Amino acid sequence: MSLGTTPAPAGKWESTPVFYWLAKFVLLGPFLRGLWRPWTEGLENIPDDRPAILASNHLSFCDSFFMPVMVKRKVTFLAKAEYFTTPGIKGFFSRLFFAGVGQVPIDRSDSDASRAALNTGVRVLREGKLLGIYPEGTRSPDGRLYRGKTGVARMALESGAVVIPCAMVNTEIIQPSGRLIPRLRPRPGVRFGKPLDFSRYDGMQGDRFVERSITDEIMYELMQLSGQEYVDQYAAKVKAAEGKDIGFGSRERDRGPDGVRELGDRVPGTRAS
């Protein structure tokens, strides 16, 4: 993640959520719900008044619109500091837009980008909010589910928040990489799984084996919810090796002689132990 060097005025944009609710219920939300008619399953799994991490697969740019618009509570995502510190008219509209869709700038009190993102996420959760996160770290290059990064586990352990697996469905079809306006069909969907409570690992943050095991459990639940093929590689490394971002749905994976697509080398375990 590439971050700016100037601290973002987080308080200003987090303490004025008026545009967020205006966008969700007046400007953007009715437009998205009316035209694309997104469907949901498992909304009852999201707590009404407790902090929680909404850990989602990431298929398309529009994931960050269709998921939060279907959740009654505000969903906060982490954003690069530059989105909130760019000067001029462009910077003003950038700040307005990203604050309006529920994003907050990453704290820059720590020079390490990963640590800065963790600190910001934990702070959001300790304020009792919902935090949206994509454990894969980037959009899937080909519609499959890739290995999760352990930051989601560290945030869960440091904040004590439950993790809600969230599976986006059909968004890679309606808005593949490179497409500006999403197609109207098929209808996009969001499935919310049962809360995952990792309080049994309290005090074990920083243990890389525990954090990997927790992350694999989350990815397993996402695989079950989404029906995606799992690949035991980081999506960012696959993109870098290919030298480009593959358009979602642009080509079919090779199938075996029985017509079944081959799975990744490893499937994450069912439960952390």
Digit-coded pLDDT (tens) for 219-263: 999 999 999 999 999 999 998 888 755 443 333 344 344 433 333
174 closest CA partner among 182, 166, 163:
182
Residue 105 sits at the vertex; the CA angle it makes with 92 and 206, to the nearest 5 degrees, is 170
pLDDT band at 94 (very low <50, low <70, confident <90, very high): low
CA atoms within 13 A on the CB side of 44: 0
Q: State the Cα–Cα distance between residues 70 and 126, nearest whole angstrom.
A: 23
pLDDT band at 3 (very low <50, low <70, confident <90, very high): very low
> Above pLDDT 70, what percent of the chain?
72
- Quick count: other Cβ atoms within 10 Å of Cβ 31? 12
Rounded mean pLDDT, 108-116: 66
pLDDT digits (tens, 9 = 90+) for 154-206: 999 999 999 999 999 999 999 998 888 889 999 999 999 999 999 999 999 99
| Mean pLDDT computed over every residue of the chain | 81
pLDDT band at 82 (very low <50, low <70, confident <90, very high): low
Rounded mean pLDDT, 64-85: 82
Residue 104 has pLDDT above 50, yes or no: yes
52 closest CA partner among 194, 168, 188:
194
Q: Is the peptide bond before 186 cis (omega within 30 degrees of 0)?
A: yes
Residue 52 is predicted with a pLDDT of 98
CA distances to 162, 173, 234, 252 from 260, rounded to whole Å, are 35, 21, 23, 12
Query: 137 — alpha (psi -120 to 50), left (phi > 0) or beta?
Result: left
CATH 3.40.1130.10 assigned to domain 10-242? The reply is yes
SS3 122: helix
Residue 89 has pLDDT above 90, yes or no: no
Residue 28 is predicted with a pLDDT of 83
Residue 257 is predicted with a pLDDT of 41
Residue 109 has pLDDT above 60, yes or no: no
Element (H, E) at 52: strand 52-56
Strands (E), 80-161: 103-105, 130-133, 145-146
Q: Where are the chain's structural domains?
A: 10-242
In eight-state DSSP terms, residue 249 is: T
Rounded mean pLDDT, 203-217: 96
Residue 45 has pLDDT above 90, yes or no: yes
Question: Which strands, in side-by-side order, build the sheet including 75-79?
Answer: 39-41, 189-192, 162-169, 52-56, 130-133, 75-79, 103-105
CA atoms within 13 A on the CB side of 246: 20
Residue 222 is predicted with a pLDDT of 98
Mean pLDDT is lowest, of 21-30, 59-68, 179-188, for 21-30
Mean pLDDT is lowest, of 43-57, 200-214, 236-250, for 236-250
In eight-state DSSP terms, residue 199 is: G
